[in-house]
Amino acid sequence: METFQAILAKKLSDALAQARLPIAGELTPATDPRFGDYQTNAALVLGKQRDEKPRVLAEQIVALFNAGDVCEPPVVAGAGFINFALCPGAVAEKTMEVLRDERLGVAETKSARHIVIDFGSPNVAKPMHVGHVRSTVLGDALARIAEFLGHEVIRDNHIGDWGTQFGMVIYGWKNLLDRQALQRNPLAEIVRIYKETNERATSDPQVREACRQELVRLQAGDKESIDIWNECVAFSMQDFEHVYKLLDIHYDIQCGESFYHDRLPAVVERLLKSGIAETSEGAIVVFFRDNPELADKPLIIRKRDGGFNYATTDLATVDYRVNDLKADVIWYVVGAPQTLHFKQIFEIARREGYTADLRHIVFGSILGEDRKLMKTRSGENIPLRDLLEEACKRARKIVDEKNPHLSDYEKIDIAQTIGIGAVKYADLSQYRMTDYIFSWEKMLSLHGNTAPYLQNAYVRIRSIFRKAGESSPKVEKLILGDSAEINLAKRLCQFAEIVPQVLNDFRPNILANYLFELANSFHTFYEACPVLKSDEPTRSSRLSLCDLTGRVLQRGLELLGIKVPERM
């Protein structure tokens, strides 16, 4: 099914060809609906390229444009913009196509890719904290959208389960562990022994050396060390799984850093053999002498003492994902502080001849009301589990006020849907590079650009059908008379244009903002156009518009990883 944008773009390119002009500029939804539904800056771009007056070029293009029954004859505006207004008949017909389509007009891609998405990536022996929100919900939304568009997706949780901190954890386990505390709250006890060991190691060289020895034993495969490590990993994974269950997020594979440990010597050997790496002051290093951006930023892949690091692991990971998982695209949804690291890793992968498309998808930070990184009063990171449970608790108050007669079980379920949805949407509705202030009041509001507002629009639609006592009626054609219903129908047709755009620059906020505008258009329609009290065939036509709006809201939110309740 072709979108209006695609149909008009084709007609525009035909007009340009007839005018012997090259394809130029873009055809986009109009910024101001008073001037039409779509616009193009083609004449402005061509005017600049050819040193000709854009308005004259625009008029030539418009004269050759075959509008057919899709839109009114296009109009030249301002310095040379061309505006297109859709015909109500074409809108009714296209909306009918969308109504009949299970995919709501969204076409599957013709060039499906095999994508590995690396997101989340918490560290073992620490609880997940508020800083994990962005990578986790952004990665999940991109995975859902890519899958919906027909790409093959593998979600990979690259867990930090290997490294220097384990020397301290194992030392603390052997010397400081409180078994009863471990049973009560495993992760809190592991964090406590790690912190206490760290403090001792800072002031006592003997403890520091003992921790180093514990790490050496672990890396050499000592049975007692491996057993303690396995217990720590298992406790952490239990805690992570609880959070992922709350967030309704799943992974296809969870290959921690330990998974790659045996592959690291081969990585170093390979890079030495190919001349990409060299020995420098006892360490194995990759220099980027011919890359101006990285020329003074060499990367160590084996330390002087023979130890490996994150860089070595990440190079082994690229190899595994390309050769074993057969990925032709790898997306790393990882914070901005890792930008240099990934530039170095991607450059080495390129030198090695890997042709997969490697992307680092960066994002901003979540700030507290004081505009600083969100922490507890004592300066600690806020555990993610606590944050999500608080969201559900606050949402429960909203449910109690709005629907006190619901059963306790229903209230818990609805509160979780609203609370978790609010946290996710607060993040996904922002451009990913923007830092944003975390505000309970704002994110749980039933007004404004929030998940509860969108969920409430869906609930309102479901209540219309409960009152009608019927499901969506079968209609042969839609009757669009009122401007509010025409605008709603146009908005519904845009869903198929918006969803593929999200992956262009990894921006789920485009979809979130579209859904907010759709909910606004629905509320305007609901106020202006009686549904159940209308006579036939208008009543059935309007019920069909309501049904389609509900389906688009539900599917759109689902692509962002957000559920909708039937009641609130």
Topology of domain 451-559, CATH = Isoleucyl-tRNA Synthetase; Domain 1 (1.10.730)
Q: What are phi and psi of 221, to 5 degrees?
A: 90, 20
Residues 199-215 have a mean pLDDT of 93
Q: Which CATH superfamily is domain 4-86 in?
A: Arginyl tRNA synthetase N-terminal domain (3.30.1360.70)
Tens of pLDDT, residue by residue over 61-85, are 999 999 999 999 999 999 999 999 9
Residues 416-442 have a mean pLDDT of 95
The contacts of residue 497 (CB under 8 Å, 6+ apart) are 3, 4, 5, 29
Question: Could you tell me the pTM of the whole model?
Answer: 0.93
In Å, the largest CA–CA distance within the chain is 87
Amino acid at 43: A
Lowest mean pLDDT among 116-120, 269-273, 384-388: 384-388
Tens of pLDDT, residue by residue over 445-487, are 999 999 999 999 999 999 999 998 877 788 999 999 999 999 9
The contacts of residue 234 (CB under 8 Å, 6+ apart) are none
Percent of the chain with pLDDT over 70: 99
Percent of the chain with pLDDT over 90: 88
User: Which of 72, 77, 32 is CA-nearest to residue 59?
Assistant: 77
- State the pLDDT confidence band at 379, using cuts at 50, 70 and 90: low
DSSP letters spanning 382-394: PBHHHHHHHHHHH
Contact 96, 489 (CB under 8 A): no
Tens of pLDDT, residue by residue over 254-305, are 999 999 999 999 999 999 999 999 999 999 999 999 999 999 999 999 999 8
What is the pLDDT, as a whole number, of residue 125?
87
Give the Cβ contact number of residue 493 at 10 Å: 25
What is the pLDDT, as a whole number, of residue 383?
87
- State the pLDDT confidence band at 162, using cuts at 50, 70 and 90: confident
Contact 397, 452 (CB under 8 A): no
Q: Apex CA 54: angle with CA 49 and CA 59, to 5°?
A: 130
Contact 47, 80 (CB under 8 A): yes
Q: Where are the domains of the chain?
A: 4-86, 165-247, 384-441, 451-559
What is the pLDDT, as a whole number, of residue 189?
94
What DSSP element (H or E) covers 81?
strand 81-84
Distance of CA 127 to the CA centre of its chain: 22
Length of the chain: 568
Q: Are 4-86 and 451-559 the same fold in CATH?
A: no
Indicate the burial class of 476 (C-beta count within 10 angstroms; 0-12, 13-18, 19 or more): exposed
Residues 353-381 have a mean pLDDT of 84
Residues 411-434 have a mean pLDDT of 96
The average confidence (pLDDT) of the chain is 94
Amino acid at 502: V
What is the pLDDT, as a whole number, of residue 374?
73
